[in-house]
A = this chain, B = another copy of it.
Amino acid sequence: MATEAHFSGVIAPVLTPFDEEGGPDAARFTDHASWLLAEGCTALAPFGTTSEANSLGIEERMELLEELVDSGIDPGKLMPGTGTCSLADTIALTEHAIEVGCGGVLMLPPFYYKGPSEDGLFRYFAEVIECIGDDRLKVYLYHIPPVAQVGFSLPLIGRLLKEFPNTVAGLKDSSGDWSNTAAILAEYPQLEVFPGSEIFLLDGLKHGAKGCISATCNVSANAIRKVYDSWQTPDAERLQAGITALRKAIQAYPMIPALKAVIAHYRGDPGWAAVRPPFMPLPAAEAEKAVRTLAEAHGFTLDFADAA
C-alpha cells in the first residue's frame, strides 16, 4: 500500500523572529505564519534550516509549534523540522509533532558524526520510526548536504521506502543539484519530492515534483504560487524566469539575515531583523542595498496591509 499524498505546492520554512532578550517571539512568529498562508503558501515547514531551528532549544521548538496551532493554523498544513543529531531529541520532537496533529515532519539525518555508513543511517531512521510506532507519522527526508554534510543516497532512500512504505512520504532536496532531484523523481515516483529552491520549481513539476519548500517563500510566496498554479500554461516559463531572477538576487546576500532584513523593512519593524548567533544581522547599509536592489531590479515589494 502506497503512502497517501499529503503535501503539495508552495511551502515556507517559516523564519523565526526573536524578541529583545533574544528569545523566540511567538507573536511575530504566528503573525508571519498566518501572513504566509494568506500570501499563497499551501503549507508551512517551521523549524527548517532557514528557521534557525538548529539554534533553537528542544523546549523552544515545542512551545513555538504549540503557539502556531493555538493561533488557529490547521496542524495538517504543518511539516515541522524534527531532525536533530540526537536519536532521543528527534524522537521527542517527532512525537510532539504527531501529538499536536502535524501532517508530516521534515527530518534531517543525524548530522554531527561525519561519514556515517548507509547501514548506520538506515538503522537510525528505523529506530526513530519503530520507537514512535504511530501510523500517523509521515516522514519527509531532509537532504541538505551543503549544510548537514550527511545526506541521503539513492540506495538509502530506496531501503527506507521499501521498509517503511506507509511512513516515508517524501523528501526535500536542498542539494542544489538538479540532477540529483531528477534522479530521485525518476527512481522513486511514489515519493513526494520538493526541491529546496524555487529555481527548480517548473522543471520539478514537469518531472513529478509536488512543489517546492524554499527559504525565499518567506518573502515571495505570492510569485512562486503563480508559477505553481500556472505551470501547464504558456505563461509558465516567463513567470519561472521572474522567480529565478528574484531568488538569485536574494541569495547574493546571506540568506537568513537578508530575508529578515527585508521583512523588517516592509513591516517597519526593525526588531524583525534579529538573528541568533552564530548568525549576524545584515549591516544597515547592506540591508538597505538589498531592499533597494530587489525593488528596482525586480519590482519587489511586500504588503502587510492585511496582516494583523
Residues of chain A whose beta carbon lies under 8 Å from any beta carbon of chain B: 22, 49, 54-60, 85-89, 92, 109-114, 116-117, 119-121, 123-124, 127, 131, 146-150, 276-280
Check B277–A57 contact: CB distance below 8 A.
no
- With beta carbons under 8 angstroms apart, the residue of B55, B92, B120, B146 that contacts A278 is B120
CA distance A147 to B116 in the complex (A): 11
* Shortest distance from the beta carbon of A209 to any chain B beta carbon, whole Å: 26
- With beta carbons under 8 angstroms apart, the residue of B54, B59, B119, B131 that contacts A85 is B54
**Would A54 and B86 be within 8 Å (CB), given that A111-B112, A114-B147, A147-B112 are in contact?**
yes
- With beta carbons under 8 angstroms apart, the residue of B86, B117, B123, B277 that contacts A124 is B277
Chain B's closest residue to A119 (CB) is B280
* Shortest distance from the beta carbon of A165 to any chain B beta carbon, whole Å: 21
Check A277–B127 contact: CB distance below 8 A.
yes
Check A110–B277 contact: CB distance below 8 A.
yes
Residues of B within 8 A of A113 (CB): 49, 54-55, 147, 278-279
* Shortest distance from the beta carbon of A63 to any chain B beta carbon, whole Å: 11
Given contacts A22-B87, A116-B279, 9 further A-B contacts (CB under 8 A): A56-B88, A58-B89, A85-B85, A112-B147, A114-B146, A117-B280, A120-B277, A123-B277, A123-B278
